[in-house]
Structure 1
Amino acid sequence: MSLNRERVLISYDEFEEMFTTFQHTAFRLETRRRYRSDEESETYQQFVAGLAPEWDLDHPWCRSRREQAALGKRFERVRIMDNPPTMGQRYLLNNSERNGLVGEDIRYLWRADADRLGLPAEDAWLFDSRYLALLHFDADDDITEIEVITDPVKVARACQERDAAWHYATPHREFAAGVLSDM
């Protein structure tokens, strides 16, 4: 018997709401070499100009993360890094410090190691080990669609991928120290 499930796409607003309605954990696997939304930010422009980005810790995104973390919710990410890192990846490595200040735990994994582990090439958020928000991008690295997946087999696979990525990943400060010493 074959179950034919339709794709479930949600709006960006519905996606944003998931970050306050989840109950326990939000985990992201970040696999891309660049994100156009980052490149359009003032902090990215500061970074590529060789300046220290001026992070606004009072930004609504930062306040929301702190509020959710204060409720005991966990935000975790594993970012995949090329060797040598792209400018976008170096920016996100710098950005990890800000994310840590608002309650996220970010770790890093070299792309070669991620490939050996069989991690997926797609970016996704896994919420409460129950549902997956798969992020679709276009050729310009802009998000085009957000697909919610609740299929138990696919979610269980995403949980295994999360566990493997987290186990082998290095905390951002330790990783950054090694990357910066090589540059």
Structure 2
Amino acid sequence: MRRFLAGESEDMTWFQNWTGIVKQAVTDGRTMRRVRVVSVPLSDYARYGLDLARHNNAAGEDIRYLDRRDAAGLPEFDFWVFDSNRVAKLHFTDDHKLLGAEIITDPSVVVECSTALDDAFHRSVSRDEFAARIQSP
């Protein structure tokens, strides 16, 4: 992130493992998508994430963006849905460092989170559209 904030180019070697996983999953017919609910204006961390998302998208993951002001009714926590049968509820420190994930298999929670993900996905815009919107005056 330091390099990003300084406007320096970054060696993306450290990220190749993840983009390789994404490429293989997509090749195998799996869908990888997520919606990032963000506050505008973006924090430095969120701007860095937006920049990195272009690599995820190029690998086949569909990362979309939703302004927090348009996210009413969605869960107030970060989560991932896996294969429509597991939810990983993410836990963070106050300064946004990932502490870990709680795996939930309760069908009612999985359905609730899956529905919320679909809702958020349809309200969101592509990474590229979002980047163009926030960078235009």
What TM-score results when the alignment is normalised by the length of structure 2? 0.92
| Separation (CA, whole Å) in 1 of partners of 2:75 and 2:107 | 17
Amino acid at match of 1:107: R
Amino acid at match of 1:105: D
Deviation at 1:57, TM superposition (A): 8.1
Contact 1:57 1:63 in 2 (8 A): no
The residue that corresponds to 1:26 in the other structure is none
Matched, 1:79 2:67: no
SS of the equivalent of 1:72 reads coil
Q: How does 1:48-87 map to 2 (within 5 A)?
A: 48-56=5-13, 59-87=16-44
Q: How does 1:99-114 map to 2 (within 5 A)?
A: 99-114=56-71
| Separation (CA, whole Å) in 2 of partners of 1:58 and 1:154 | 31
Any gaps of 5 or more consecutive residues in structure 2? none
Deviation at 1:67, TM superposition (A): 1.1
Deviation at 1:45, TM superposition (A): 1.5
The residue that corresponds to 2:99 in the other structure is 144
Indicate the RMSD between aligned Cα atoms, in angstroms: 1.6
Match 1:131 to one of 57, 61, 86: 86
Amino acid at match of 1:68: A
What TM-score results when the alignment is normalised by the length of structure 1? 0.70
In structure 2, the CA distance between the partners of 1:155 and 1:58, relative to structure 1 (3 Å rule), is closer
Taking every aligned residue pair, what percent have the same amino acid on both sides?
Answer: 36
| Separation (CA, whole Å) in 2 of partners of 1:65 and 1:94 | 17
Aligned residues: 137
SS of the equivalent of 1:56 reads helix
Structure showing greater relative contact order (alpha-carbon pairs closer than 8 Å, 6 or more residues apart) = 1
Amino acid at match of 1:79: R
Amino acid at match of 1:95: L
Deviation at 1:135, TM superposition (A): 0.9
Deviation at 1:51, TM superposition (A): 2.4
Runs of 4+ in 1 over 3 A off after TM superposition: none
Give 1 or 2 for the bigger CA radius of gyration.
1
Amino acid at match of 1:71: D
Contact 1:124 1:133 in 2 (8 A): yes
Amino acid at match of 1:149: I
Deviation at 1:58, TM superposition (A): 7.1
